[in-house]
Every structure is written in structure tokens, then in C-alpha cells.
């Protein structure tokens, strides 16, 4: 086969691979749109859908309003599915041990603050391992609020964080807004936030209000 024919075949193969990848990406995008729509039809609001999909509320609003002819750019975000861990208690415990290790590097907390909903299983296991109390925070987005008028709050059925040192445990940091909300409220209640520990840090930030962000995986979006 001549050099010209070989180069032509390589270019053709590359074009087919590119088209295939674009098709796959579109299928993935269509799947996300379908999931977002299904969750909305189940009665979830954009903040709750964002928590389920581990994506920002901006991305979820884009998924819910996007049409086939829309030219609005896709928000920069990454879909995270950690159900292979979440479905198995033993795997959750192994991951929680890794979170315990990075939490103790920043101090020994009196209270572990679990973020509803997805952060609660991990926070419970971490608190048990450390021997700390467990507090539960319900963020603004879980209250169905789309405005700043309604704030997140701590559940009265769990530990009080006033005057205590706290480590915050969640699954994913997407924008950092929930972690910021919790840190501010802990300080308002005269508690001391020692760290925020998560499975995945999508924002790439290292601290919020001088509180270190510790993660098992950090993602940088270029």
C-alpha cells in the first residue's frame, strides 16, 4: 500500500473515531438530561436534583431547559457517579477510614458534621471510627429553596455543635457553596470548623474561610 493511501486511511479512521466519540458524548448528555427530567417529574427541585447528580444547580437548570436547537454553551461540570461505593456498606466503611485519616491530620474533632443527604452515611461511619458526636446539616438546596432567603440548618435530633470543634463530611464539592454555608453557621454558633473532608473535590479549592478542604480525589477542569 502506498504512503498516500496509508495516510488517507489513517485520516479516515481518525474521522470515524471522532464521530463515534461525539456520538457517545451526545448519548451521555442525553442520558443526563433524561435523568434530570425524571427526577423533576418525581417532584425534586433543582437543588435536590443537583445533589442527586453531584452537579451544580447551574448545570441542572441547563439540563432541564435545554432544547435540541439550543446554542447555549454547556456549563463546565463533571458528572460523578459513586454508586459502586454507596451501594455497599463495606466499601463505604473502607472509604470512611481514608476520610478519618485525612481529618485527623487537621485536628481531633468533637463533632462530625454530616451533610444531607449523600454525606450522611460517610459521616456516620467516620464519627463512629473517631468516637465523635454526629451532627446533621440540611443545606439550603435540600430545603427546595432557590433563593438566599432560606438558610440551611442543623437538625435538632443530633449533636449540638455550639462551642465544639467540628469536621464537615460530604461526598462531593461542586461549587463550594454548601461548605461555605456550613462553615459560616458553625462560626455563628461559636463552633470551630477544623476541616472539610470529601470524596471528590470538583472545585479544586484548598480552603474556605481559612478552613482546609481535604479530598480523596481532586479534579481540575481546564
Q: What is the CATH number of the domain that holds 11?
A: 1.10.10
Please check whether residues 99 and 200 belong to one and the same domain.
yes
Task: Please report whether residue 40 resides in a domain.
Answer: yes
Task: Please report whether residue 45 resides in a domain.
Answer: yes
Q: Which of 37, 65, 93 is where one domain is finished? A: 65
Please check whether residues 153 and 55 belong to one and the same domain.
no
What does the pLDDT profile of the chain (222 residues) look like in tens digits? 555 454 444 444 444 343 334 334 445 888 888 999 999 999 988 888 888 888 888 898 888 987 555 667 778 888 889 999 999 999 999 999 999 999 999 999 999 999 998 999 999 999 999 999 999 999 987 776 555 567 899 999 999 999 999 999 999 999 999 999 999 999 999 999 999 999 999 999 999 999 999 999 998 766
Q: Which of 65, 99, 116 is where one domain is finished? A: 65
Please check whether residues 54 and 109 belong to one and the same domain.
no
Please check whether residues 207 and 113 belong to one and the same domain.
yes
Task: Please report whether residue 70 resides in a domain.
Answer: no
Task: Please report whether residue 193 resides in a domain.
Answer: yes
Please check whether residues 178 and 130 belong to one and the same domain.
yes
Please check whether residues 88 and 134 belong to one and the same domain.
yes
Task: Please report whether residue 150 resides in a domain.
Answer: yes
Task: Please report whether residue 144 resides in a domain.
Answer: yes
| Total domains present in the chain | 2
Please check whether residues 40 and 11 belong to one and the same domain.
yes
What's the chain look like in SS3?
CCHHHHHHHHHHHHHHHHHHHHHHHHHHHHHHHHHHHHHHHCCCCHHHHHHHHCCCHHHHHHHHHCCCCCCCCCCCCCCCCCHHHHCCHHHHHHHHHHHHHHHHCCCCCCEEEEECCCCHHHHHHHHHHHCCEEEEEECHHHHCCCCCCCCCEECCCCCCCCCCEEEEEEEEECCCHHHHHHHHHHHHCCCEEEEEEEEEECCCCCEECCEEEEEEEECCCC
Q: Which residues constitute the domain of residue 50?
A: 3-65
Please check whether residues 198 and 91 belong to one and the same domain.
yes
Task: Please report whether residue 11 resides in a domain.
Answer: yes
Amino acid at each position: 500500500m502506498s504512503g498516500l493511501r496509508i495516510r488517507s486511511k489513517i485520516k479516515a479512521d481518525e474521522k470515524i473515531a471522532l464521530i463515534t466519540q461525539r456520538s457517545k458524548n451526545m448519548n451521555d448528555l442525553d442520558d443526563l438530561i433524561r435523568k434530570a427530567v425524571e427526577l423533576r417529574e418525581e417532584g425534586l427541585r433543582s437543588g435536590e436534583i443537583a445533589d442527586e447528580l453531584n452537579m451544580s444547580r447551574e448545570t441542572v437548570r441547563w439540563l432541564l431547559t435545554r432544547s435540541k436547537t439550543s446554542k447555549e454553551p454547556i456549563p463546565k461540570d463533571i458528572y460523578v457517579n459513586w454508586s459502586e461505593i454507596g451501594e455497599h456498606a463495606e466499601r463505604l466503611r473502607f472509604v470512611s477510614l481514608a476520610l478519618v485519616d485525612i481529618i485527623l491530620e487537621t485536628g481531633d474533632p468533637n463533632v462530625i458534621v454530616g451533610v444531607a443527604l449523600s454525606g450522611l452515611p460517610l459521616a456516620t461511619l467516620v464519627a463512629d471510627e473517631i468516637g465523635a458526636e454526629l451532627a446533621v446539616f440540611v443545606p439550603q438546596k435540600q430545603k427546595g429553596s432557590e433563593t438566599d432567603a432560606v438558610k440551611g440548618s442543623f437538625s435538632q435530633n443530633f449533636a449540638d455543635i455550639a462551642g465544639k470543634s467540628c469536621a464537615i463530611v460530604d461526598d462531593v464539592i461542586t461549587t463550594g457553596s454548601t461548605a461555605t454555608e456550613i462553615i459560616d453557621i458553625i462560626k455563628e454558633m461559636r463552633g470551630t470548623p477544623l476541616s472539610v473532608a470529601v470524596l471528590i473535590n470538583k472545585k479544586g479549592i484548598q480552603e474556605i474561610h481559612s478552613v482546609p478542604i481535604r479530598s480523596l480525589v481532586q479534579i481540575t477542569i481546564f
